[in-house]
Amino acid sequence: MRYLLFLYVLINILNLHSVAQAQKHFGKNMKIKLDQPSFQDVDFKTLLDRRYSCRNFQNRSLKLKDVSSILWATYGMKADAVTHATRTVLSAGATYPLELYLLVGPAGVDKLKGGLYHYIVEEHALKPISEIDKRRQLAQACLGQSFIEEAPVTLVIVARFQRTTYRYGDRGRRYVYMEAGHAAQNAYLAITSLGLATVEVGAFEDETVNRILDLQKDYVALLVMPIGYPFQS
Ligand SMILES: Cc1cc2nc3c(=O)[nH]c(=O)nc-3n(C[C@H](O)[C@H](O)[C@H](O)COP(=O)(O)O)c2cc1C
């Protein structure tokens, strides 16, 4: 019995240790659980008035809690949903064809190591994929739009068309593009409400971006959104 108790305590200590180290070292099967989303009250008209496309970012780290809120607003699950809708965005036939990836600069986000992450929607968590800073490669693949390299964080909206075309055939493709737009608009508004800014980038070399993100064959990057503190308010 004492042996079992010792083992239990040891496992918990190791587990806590690995969580504490989560931001420092990428481990296999490791996931970083994100904070619950939180936003300040901003009048809706003011929010729309403030939204714009920004291409000039400060060299300043984002807060992990803000990144968490942005990911949730863009494609998150509503645990406390007040309606039957389970996600922050609509989806044709609730097929949810999108995935979110995050490129983080070396000091891009407090409490988070730089690199490439995949957002696990169901767990509201980030799964590390690579520790390499790929922002320069991404900026080049986006036809040299250099502000992508300067932004501390870049969100990439990726589609798995088959999830929707399986149900709707070829027409499903147009639904997927529409849904990427819905998610991107949610992202713009969330980012704006947090005093940050972004720009939706659609001009890029598809194959190169897919390769940078290490995507599987049937995944396609649709939109690239660098995020940061803007110079102008
Ligand atoms: C589908 C799409 C693709 C876009 N691609 C780019 C892009 O590659 N680079 C860029 O700087 N802006 C891009 N934009 C942003 C537009 O240039 C911007 O929204 C437009 O100029 C209006 O400005 P505003 O967003 O500040 O209102 C794109 C916007 C959309 C909707």
**Crossing angle for the helix pair 171-193 and 64-75, to the nearest 10 degrees:** 150
Q: Which residue has the higher pLDDT, 11 or 66?
A: 66
pLDDT tens, 155-180? 999 999 999 999 999 999 999 999 99
The more confident residue out of 5 and 225 is 225
Q: Which of 230, 207, 227 is nearest to 219 (CA)?
A: 207
pLDDT higher than 70, residue 85: yes
Q: Which residues line ligand 1 (CB under 6 A)?
A: 52-53, 55, 145, 199-203
Which tokens go with 38? Answer: 């939180």
Q: How far is the CA of 52 from the centre of ligand 1 (A)?
A: 9
Which residue's alpha carbon is at the smallest distance from atom 23 of ligand 1? Answer: 53
* Closest C-alpha to 29, from 89, 118, 162, 155: 118
The tens digit of pLDDT for each residue in 108-158 reads 999 999 999 999 999 999 999 999 999 999 999 999 999 999 999 999 999
Least confident of 21-25, 82-86, 117-121, 225-229: 21-25
Give the pLDDT score at 79: 74
Closest CA to 183 of 104, 92, 88, 94: 88
232: pLDDT strictly greater than 80: no
Q: Tell me which amino acid residue 219 is.
A: Y
> 4 alpha carbon to ligand 1 midpoint, in Å?
59
The residues pairing with 130 across neighbouring beta strands, listed in sequence order, are 116
CA dihedral 107, 110, 113, 117 (to 10 degrees): -110
Counting from 1 in the atom list of ligand 1, the atom nearest the Cα of 147 is 11
d(CA 230, CA 197): 6
The residue whose CA is least distant from atom 20 of ligand 1 is 53
Mean pLDDT of 192-198: 97
**What are the structural domain ranges in the chain?**
1-28, 31-228
Mean pLDDT of the chain: 90
Listed range (5-14, 79-88, 183-192) with the worst mean pLDDT = 5-14
Report which ligand 1 atom has the smallest distance to the Cα of 55: 11
| pLDDT at residue 3, as a whole number | 56
The per-residue pLDDT for 83 is: 75
Query: Which pLDDT score is estimated for 81?
Result: 66
Ligand 1 centroid distance, CA of 188 (Å): 12
Ligand 1 centroid–CA 167 distance in Å is: 31
Helices (H), the chain: 2-20, 44-50, 64-75, 135-141, 147-150, 162-168, 171-193, 206-212
What is the CATH class of 31-228?
alpha beta
Name the residue at shortest CA distance from atom 31 of ligand 1. 200
What values do phi and psi take at 91, rounded to 5? -155, 135
The protein residue with its alpha carbon nearest to ligand 1, atom 18, reads: 53
The average pLDDT across 67-84 equals: 89
CA of 55 to the centre of ligand 1 (A): 10
Atom 13 of ligand 1: nearest residue by CA position = 201
- Ligand 1 atom 12: residue of nearest CA: 201
pLDDT of residue 194: 97
Burial class (CB in 10 A: 0-12, 13-18, 19+), 226: buried
Give the whole-number percent of the chain exceeding pLDDT 90: 81
> For the residues 99-113, what does the mean pLDDT come to?
96
Closest to 68 (Cα-Cα) out of 112, 128, 113:
112
Beta-bridge mates of residue 126: 32, 119
